[in-house]
């Protein structure tokens, strides 16, 4: 089964972001790790990144139209993009929100997620492993 793994702004620049917050992998290493973990659990992961809100909305529409499960790290859009929230709500297959860091342990503006309310669940704070945990959560949701 194909899944979409969508990553929001600045996640392609993990090489220069705070590794104590986001872990030691650069984006291409993170992408490979997700692809390998997905394959191990019987999924084919299509891992994408964009800094552009409209592009991410288009990908969510694609997931809605193809009934594809989604793992999404909306990055900073998490905290304020009602447009991404509304698009995520259109996805009827499981949708899991992930974060590398634990936003609740950071600045107050990161404590709000406008996406969580339309996700099956949220996983954050485990570095790149957050994506692996999301893949495991997906296998459970899909076999229910
Ligand atoms: C993030 C957390 C967000 O607050 C931040 O804006 C990001 C990354 C994470 O994966 O920890 O860009 O989504």
Confidence of residue 143 (pLDDT cuts 50, 70, 90): confident
How far, in Å, from the CA of 103 to the mean position of ligand 1? 7
Q: What angle do CA 137, 13, 49 make, to 5 degrees?
A: 50
Enclosing domain of residue 80: 2-143
Backbone φ and ψ for 120, nearest 5 degrees, come out as -65, -30
The answer to whether residue 144 scores a pLDDT higher than 80 is no
Indicate the SS3 state at residue 119. Answer: coil
Nearest CA to ligand 1 atom 6: 76
Q: Tokens 């089964």 correspond to what residue?
A: 1
Q: Tokens 């999404």 correspond to what residue?
A: 72
For a pocket test of ligand 1, which of 21, 78, 134 has the largest count of ligand atoms closer than 8 A to its C-beta? 78
pLDDT in tens, 51-105: 999 999 999 999 999 999 999 999 999 999 999 999 999 999 999 999 999 999 9
**CATH, residue 71:** 3.40.50.9100
CA distance 106 to 56: 25
Number of domains, the chain = 1
């Amino acid at each position: 089964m194909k899944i979409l793994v969508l990553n929001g702004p600045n996640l392609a620049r993990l090489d220069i972001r705070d590794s104590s917050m986001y872990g030691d992998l650069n984006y291409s290493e993170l992408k490979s790790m997700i692809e390998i973990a997905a394959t191990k659990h019987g999924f084919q992961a299509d891992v994408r990144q964009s800094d552009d809100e409209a592009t991410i909305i288009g990908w969510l529409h694609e997931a809605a139209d193809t009934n594809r499960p989604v793992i999404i790290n909306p990055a900073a859009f998490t905290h304020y993009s009602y447009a991404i929230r509304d698009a995520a709500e259109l996805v009827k297959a499981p949708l899991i929100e992930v974060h590398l860091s634990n936003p609740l342990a950071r600045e107050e503006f990161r404590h709000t997620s406008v996406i969580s309310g339309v996700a099956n669940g949220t996983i954050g704070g485990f570095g790149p492993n957050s994506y692996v945990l999301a893949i495991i959560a997906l296998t459970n949701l899909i076999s229910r």
